[in-house]
Amino acid sequence: MAQTTAPQPQQIGPKGMGPGFWPYTIALTVLNVIFALLILFAPLDFIMPGWSHPVTDRAADIDGLFKFMSVFGFAIFCYVAGYVAYFAIVFRRRPGEPAGTIGVVVHDAPKLEFWWTVIPSVLLVILTGLSIVVWYKIQFGTGAPALTMEVIGHQFYFEYRYPGLKGSVYSQTDAMHLPIGKPVRILITSADVIHQFWAPEIRLKAAAVPGLVQNLNFTPTAPGTFDVACSEYCGVDHSVMQGKLVIESADKFEKWLAAQKQRAAAGAHPIPLARGNAASGKALFAQKCSACHAIAPFDKKIVGPGLAKLTDDPQHPTLVTGKSPTRDHIAEILENGYTGPIGAMPNRQANGLSDQNIADLVAYLVSLK
């Protein structure tokens, strides 16, 4: 056993906390204060250019919470990274130091440890408090809803149902509408797999789970047209499962709703794409379309392009209209026809198609993989 040979290693330590430690700490603190003020008082889209304006009361609450978290999250990170960098520079081993040199031997500092347990805990308690306030508002804080509507997730579109309206809006091109200043409740569920309803401007999302109805409650506060995105993986077209949300004044909303009711009453439903039947579509296709289209890759033309793999063709990612290959955009072509560089595709009247025919054809076309 040779535990006695080498001499006691030499300790090198700083005077106090280290050269320039306190000025550095003050500098970090000043930086933090500046950032805190910036984050608290500058609008978020000043800091993050793409950040959208909150358009509901809850969104504003969440933004407030987010600002608070950013202030102290930034501060903590700033101190951690700041001191790591500072110690790395100040306490680096200098060339030429004897090999056995060691740093200052400290095992603990109970006071320090006490504070760095307590301060984060206090911060987290404050954060818990703030989160609970906002959480309470989200869950229980919106009074009796003036409007209750339903959102139903389908592969791959959102269906919106309004009270008093028998049918529902099936097509994604038809936006969801909400009135300003009225408390609304959105009931969310799914017809097939799990989806998620999310409009970034609302800052709220809820999963659409089959067999379960969730709700979101808030009051819209600002007008505009916004994207609705599906934020839970739901299948191949998850990333194109988009919708639109229109927030408008209560008057406009009432008018829109009345018009929808009229349409519903007149039986003029929007095209019920969900009810398409691929088998009848196939028969119909042979009859009405095969003169011009083959079920073949895009570049195998007859008159029009080949239509196999419309929805999932890396060589031809969008439709001829430049839109993403969703059911609705395909339906749009069948509805209106399209004239482009390849030639002219007849519209619905010319091809003699009913709503159901279109739905069937679309169902058939998207089933081709």
Partner 1 sequence: MEAGTTAPHVGHDPHDHIHPPPEGFIRKYVFSLDHKVIAFQYFITGLLFMLIAGSFAELIRLQLWEPNGAIMSHNAYDTMFTIHGTAMVWLVVIPLVTGALGNFVMPLQIGARDVAFPWLNMLSFWILPVAGLTLFSTFLAGGAHAGWTEYPPISLADGTAGALWCAAIFLVGISSTITGLNFMVTIIKMRAPGMTWTRMPLFIWASFATAFMNMFATVALSSALFALFLEHVFNVPFFDANRGGSAVLYEHMFWFYSHPAVYIFILPAFGVISEILPVFARKPIFGYKMIAFSSLAIAILSFAVWAHHMFPSGISPWLQLTFMIITYAIGVPTGIKVFSWIATLWAGRIHFTTAMLYAMGFLITFTFGGITGIFLASVPADFHEHGTYFVVAHFHYVVAGGALMGFLAAIPYWYPKATGRLMSERMGRWSFWLFFIGFNATFFPMHWLGLEGMPRRYASYVAFATGNPDAVFWNQFETVFSFLMVVSIGLLAWNMIWSIRHGKPAGINPWGARTLEWTISSPPPYYNFRKIPIVYDRPYDFDKPLPYRNLDNDIDAYPEPSPVLLRQEPVRAGA
In the block, residue with structure tokens 């805190």: 36
Q: Which helix (H) or strand (E) holds 349?
A: helix 348-351
Inter-residue contact 106 to 165 (CB < 8 Å): no
Question: Is residue 321 at the binding interface for partner 1, with CB under 8 A as the rule?
Answer: no
Which residues inside 251-310 make contact with ligand HEC, applying CB under 6 A?
A: 285, 288-289, 291-293, 298, 303-305, 307, 310
Phi/psi of residue 183, nearest 5 degrees: -65, 130
Question: Is residue 188 at the binding interface for ligand HEC, with CB under 6 A as the rule?
Answer: no
Single out the residue of 26, 42, 43, 121 in contact with partner 1 (rule: CB under 8 A). Answer: 121
Distance in angstroms (rounded) separating the CA atoms of residues 53 and 200 = 9
Distance in angstroms (rounded) separating the CA atoms of residues 12 and 272 = 80
Interacting partner of 123 out of ligand HEA, ligand CUA, ligand HEC, none (Cβ under 5 to 8 A depending on kind)? ligand HEA
Q: Residue 54 Cβ, how far from ligand HEA at the closest point, in Å?
A: 19
Nearer to partner 1, 54 or 179 (CB): 54
Phi/psi of residue 268, nearest 5 degrees: -85, 70
Question: Is residue 361 at the binding interface for ligand HEC, with CB under 6 A as the rule?
Answer: yes
242 DSSP 8-state letter: E
Name the token pair of 258: 């009345």
CA distances to 140, 293, 299, 335, 346 from 338, in Å: 50, 14, 17, 9, 7
Single out the residue of 80, 126, 291, 302 in contact with ligand HEA (rule: CB under 6 A). Answer: 80
Single out the residue of 177, 195, 205, 293 in contact with ligand CUA (rule: CB under 6 A). Answer: 195
Question: Is residue 52 at the binding interface for partner 1, with CB under 8 A as the rule?
Answer: yes
Q: Residue 207 Cβ, how far from ligand CUA at the closest point, in Å?
A: 10
Distance in angstroms (rounded) separating the CA atoms of residues 90 and 341 = 68
Q: How many residues of this chain bind ligand CUA (CB under 6 A)?
A: 9
Question: Is residue 354 at the binding interface for partner 1, with CB under 8 A as the rule?
Answer: no
Nearer to partner 1, 194 or 292 (CB): 194
Which residues inside 63-122 make contact with ligand HEC, applying CB under 6 A?
A: none
First to last CA, the chain: 75
Q: Which residues bind ligand CUA (CB under 6 A)?
A: 153, 156, 195, 230, 232-234, 238, 241
